Amino acid sequence: MAHAWYLTPEQRAHFVEDPSRNVVAALIDFAGMLAFGSWELPEPPLPRWAYERIIERYPQWGVLALMDDPFVPQDIQERLGIQRTAPTPEVPLTRAQAEAMVATDNEYSRAQALADPRVPAGIAARFTNDPAHEVRLAVSLRPELTEHQRQAIDYHVGPDDRLRPTWWATTTEDPEVQRTCALSAHIGLRRSVALNQHLSPELVPILAEDTDFAVRLLLCEYNATVAPQRVVTTFLEATTMTAGRLLDHPRLRDFPFASLAEDPHPGARALVPRDPNAAPGLIERLSHDEYAVVRARMASDRRLSPARVLELFDADETTEAAAANPHLPVDMMELILADAVALAGEVVEGKPAVYLGRWNPDTLPDDDE
């Protein structure tokens, strides 16, 4: 729900008080998705007070998580020391300014300062053994380091760890610098360069086969030239709430999804209805698939025969999907509504609750279901 597009900012902000930090993280991820995706909203995804509350609840983690959220109000950014735009060589730092930036007890502010390439390498080198992992990680992503020097720093990045992209790797147009990042043992550099909008074409297939799933996912999300089969494979691997938007990738516009009908992965077979050229007989056959997820995807397809739609409507796993099929007889639609009103004793906001399917009083769902 924290990622639901149809919620208003005030409705979405209710999740700020959720006891699970993962839910709050999802709120912040949603903002990042808006910023880097192809969608735009006329207003920030959260009201101002929600950002203040996140910082109040999580003084350290919250600040770090919000660093990449472009919707954080400007005065809050300034108060937290968030640097929204990439530093440019045209605005150099004096040594005194650099020393002042890194001279802070706050490990997150220290890490952000050391991520700034304008901070001299000699100053940054003093923090390779910093007690804070975030600081050591920031130093390990410095552009002047060699591969050997990076590996000598004690940092760890797991497959599920979130990393802030390092701006110089995401923006560089130098093919050699891009290659260095793409072939680096540092997962952070590979993830960052996967976001690069100027990525050299020859590096795309290399990153598409990266051992780190996040690299492959980011590449598919932000690169329009990835091979369509890789996009499909990444979609099937993904467990994130935003995985579905991979199916809008430009390389999938003419993808022959019907060719996945024999794929051993049920998720792949479930994509067959996306192919407008899939034959009705194929949809019919897959509606008998051993996996409910495949049958459900076929159940709403208008290429199914009315008789098969009714059969799927009578099966618990596919009732909801079949109810959306335009071939469901009108008298059945009327029966659904009539039965629901007659059987449902629950009233929500003054209206009878509607239970989809053929229910009887003994099979109505419990309140906690």
Question: In the prediction, which pLDDT does 181 show?
Answer: 97
Least confident range from 1-5, 195-199, 333-337: namely: 1-5
Better-scored residue on pLDDT, 62 or 89: 62
Task: Quote the CA–CA distance of 340 and 311 in Å, as a whole number.
Answer: 20
> Residue 219 in contact with residue 227, Cβ under 8 Å?
no
Is 342 a residue whose pLDDT tops 80?
Answer: no
Q: Which residue has the higher pLDDT, 259 or 106?
A: 259
Q: Please, what is the angle between helix 95-102 and helix 107-114, to 10°?
A: 150
pLDDT at residue 349 tops 70: no
Question: Who has greater pLDDT, 341 or 224?
Answer: 224
Q: Quick one: what percent of the chain has pLDDT higher than 90?
A: 52
Q: 204: which 2 tokens?
A: 């795309």
Confidence of residue 360 (pLDDT cuts 50, 70, 90): very low
Q: Where are the domains of the chain?
A: 164-253, 257-328, 330-369
Lowest-confidence range among 57-71, 199-213, 307-321? 57-71
In the prediction, which pLDDT does 90 show? 60
Instruction: Compare 31 and 333 and report the one with higher pLDDT.
Output: 333
Average pLDDT over residues 176-188: 97
Q: Which helix (H) or strand (E) holds 336?
A: helix 330-343
First to last CA, the chain: 17
Angstrom distance (rounded) from CA 330 to CA 306: 11
Measured between alpha carbons, how far is 252 from 224 in angstroms, rounded to an integer?
Answer: 10
**Lowest mean per-residue pLDDT among 61-75, 79-93, 151-165, 238-252:** 79-93
The pLDDT of 190-209, averaged and rounded, is: 95
Is the pLDDT score of 137 beyond 70? yes
What's the average model confidence in pLDDT over 80-101? 74
Closest among 71, 57, 64 to 20, alpha carbons compared: 57
DSSP H helices, 103-257, are 107-114, 121-124, 133-140, 147-151, 167-171, 175-182, 187-193, 204-208, 213-222, 228-237
Return the pLDDT at 309. 94
Residue 159 pLDDT > 90, yes or no?
Answer: no
* pLDDT tens per residue across span 288-301: 999 999 999 999 99
Distance separating alpha carbons of residues 106 and 156, to the nearest angstrom: 20
Burial of 87 (0-12, 13-18, 19+ CB in 10 A): middle
Look at residue 361 and tell me whether its pLDDT is greater than 70. Answer: no
Q: Are 287 and 261 in contact (CB under 8 A)?
A: no
Q: What is the mean pLDDT of residues 272-285?
A: 97
Q: How confident is the model at residue 120 (pLDDT cuts 50, 70, 90)?
A: very high
Question: Which has more pLDDT, 47 or 203?
Answer: 203
**Does 18 have pLDDT greater than 80?**
yes
Q: Does position 41 have pLDDT exceeding 50, yes or no? A: no
Highest-pLDDT range among 88-102, 157-171, 213-227:
213-227
Flag whether the pTM goes above 0.75. no
Q: What is the DSSP letter of 348?
A: E
